Structure 1
Amino acid sequence: MKRFLNWILLLLLILFCIDRGGSFIMNEFYKRSKATDEYKINYVINKMDQPVVFMGSSRCHHSYVPSIISDTLGLPVYNAGLWGERNIYFQYGLLCNVLQRYTPKVICLEIHPIDFMLTPFSGIERISPLAPFVGMSTGCDSLFKIENKYIEYKISHLYRYNGILISTVGGCFLSDNSQKDNGYKPLYNIVDLLAKPDEFSFPIDKQRIQLLSNFANKCREKNIELILFCSPMYVVSNSCVKALQYVSTIAKANHLLYLNYLTDTAFIGKRELFYDRGHFNDKGAKLYSSKIAHELRQIMGIKK
């Protein structure tokens, strides 16, 4: 029996060493990766220090050009948006981790129905890319506890990199970072003429609404000016328009400014400005960034 217990202890020790050694190696790869996700998340959490920050999913990532906005504001700007359905679960966790290190002056949050509706494939699992940072903030950790992954991540540090091994390692050797304008990722094609709009006839998710309020409260505690944005789309369904009108209710409840450009006639239906039905191409992003930069300057009271 004693020999059996010794073997068990030895096996556990070996597994512990493999886990901690493997996670150390993966962390080194992670810090050096140029893959879009790993590079952006690592930079935002550990290095970003700009006073004006744009946050959101892909419609943020491809819509706000920091160099143009910065030139108008006279302040450094960073686009912390990421492609994929990085909804309010991810954004809140990311914000909590960022605030452990520094405090921006202004955060512009690009909002989308995935942030407050029960849309498919956009649940709390969207926080998984933040797993390498478990233990950094209680706010982010609270989401992993809701997801029932927190204990697993605390026990196995290597498990935190589950699902991103190939992209992380490959990002050290094969990827060329294309976010050189302070996080902005340009798109260059032109949308299909017959592109159909997305439909958003889904119920409101109370948990996501609460997280939006928590996001606003975090900003308020740190004296960060939070502004909600909705950028234009090439084609827009009535259900999408109706869904995003609900953001006005969210903004009012949290005493926030909401700038809704969803159906702005300067952009909607202009093929040459869009990559697909919901995302600008580089030409459209630059035109839109120039427009909102001047409005932001007025809102922030910047004289030039």
Structure 2
Amino acid sequence: MKRLILNLFFFFIGLFIIDAAYGVAMTRLFEKARGGVTGKTKYICDSTRAELIILGSSRARMHYDPKILADSLGMSCYNCGENGMGIIADYAKLKILSQRYMPKMVIIDVLPILDEMTRDDNIIFVNGLRPWYDRMGIDSIFWKIDKTEKIKMVSQMYKYHSKFLEYYYDGKSQLPKDGYEPSPATKIISGKDLYQEEPRDNIIDEVKMYFAKKLIEEFKDKTKLVFVASPRYKFKTSLTVNPLRDLCSKNNVTLIDWYANREFVDVKELYADGNHMNVRGATLFSKALAHHLKRNCLVKMDRG
């Protein structure tokens, strides 16, 4: 019995040492990452001082040209868009960077499947933010999604799970100057191939709506919040579900719903695929949005 206890003791000591060593090695690899998703997230959380930031998914990353917005609105601008991200990631990133400074304006590109509806395990939205877990108020975001994160995050192996190759390659890539990464697509494909139907199981995700509410209530008086539903090919109706619209209305927060804007939705030459604009589309959309913001939102900011 004593031998068994002794063996278990040395086993756990060895496991602790391996886990700690892994954490040290991965932290160093993380610190060397200058580009890719890792480098961009680091820049957003720890470095950017842009007066206008854009949050959201790949649609944000591809649809909003910071140079056009900056030139028109007279603000420095950084595009924080990241593939597959939604309102939970938007809130977490804004929470982290707001501990350094507060942007004058925050544009959040919204898409129902990412920001309102139930889809995948919500933990995917904060996986890339584990290195900031110890920042004030960030751990509670993880706990809201999964209570077991309190235990899991004790392990360095869990904290950096599946990140080795990502950190390694991101250490060899370059960071986009203003975060804008337009679609590389140049070939116009048929309208039929572009079209993608909206998912039909419109089940509202209570966790996503919880963080949408927190984001609005926490930051509406600290910055100019603007939610934007950018155009999507062939869609004839506005945002398919209403909770976010209701939240914005209740809190007097701007929501620009161009999801089915006739100027854009029927012009296949503006799209790389059914969900993303190409460079031409992004340019026209950014100019139209900048004009709308300058005419409406900036006037209200000046008066406010």
Aligning the two structures, in what range does the TM-score lie when normalised by the shorter sequence?
Answer: 0.7 to 0.9
Q: After the TM superposition, which residues 22-171 of structure 1 pair with which residues of structure 2 at under 5 Å, given as runs?
A: 22-84=22-84, 86-121=85-120, 123-138=122-137, 140-146=138-144, 147-171=146-170
CA contact (8 A) 1:116 1:206 kept: no
Instruction: Summarize deviations over 1:160-197 as a string: whole Å, max 9, x none.
Output: 11122211112223x344x23x1111113145311223
Taking the aligned partners of 2:92 and 2:148, their CA distance within structure 1 comes to 14
What amino acid is aligned across from residue 262 of structure 1 in structure 2?
Answer: Y
1:187 to 163, 183, 202: 183
Find the counterpart in structure 1 of residue 267 from structure 2: 270
* C-alpha deviation, 1:154, in angstroms: 3.4
Between 1:251-260 and 1:11-20, the stretch displaced more is: 11-20
CA contact (8 A) 1:199 1:237 kept: no
Distance 1:122 1:15, change over 3 A: closer
Instruction: Summarize deviations over 1:94-133 as a string: whole Å, max 9, x none.
Output: 2222222221111111111034433432634322221222
Instruction: Summarize deviations over 1:8-44 as a string: whole Å, max 9, x none.
Output: 4444343333222322221222232245321121111
Distance 1:113 1:191, change over 3 A: farther
1:292 and 2:289 correspond: yes
Q: Which ranges of structure 2 fall in alignment gaps of 5 or more residues?
A: none
Taking the aligned partners of 2:279 and 2:152, their CA distance within structure 1 comes to 39
CA contact (8 A) 1:112 1:244 kept: no
SS in 2 for 1:275: strand
Find the counterpart in structure 2 of residue 234 from structure 1: 233
RMSD of Structure 2 on Structure 1 (CA): 2.4
Q: Which ranges of structure 1 fall in alignment gaps of 5 or more residues?
A: none
* C-alpha deviation, 1:218, in angstroms: 1.7
Between 1:9-18 and 1:58-67, the stretch displaced more is: 9-18
Taking the aligned partners of 1:21 and 1:103, their CA distance within structure 2 comes to 36
Taking the aligned partners of 2:290 and 2:204, their CA distance within structure 1 comes to 31
Distance 1:216 1:117, change over 3 A: closer
* C-alpha deviation, 1:4, in angstroms: 5.7
Distance 1:154 1:47, change over 3 A: same
Find the counterpart in structure 1 of residue 250 from structure 2: 253
Distance 1:106 1:122, change over 3 A: farther
Between 1:25-34 and 1:267-276, the stretch displaced more is: 25-34
* C-alpha deviation, 1:209, in angstroms: 1.7
CA contact (8 A) 1:113 1:200 kept: no
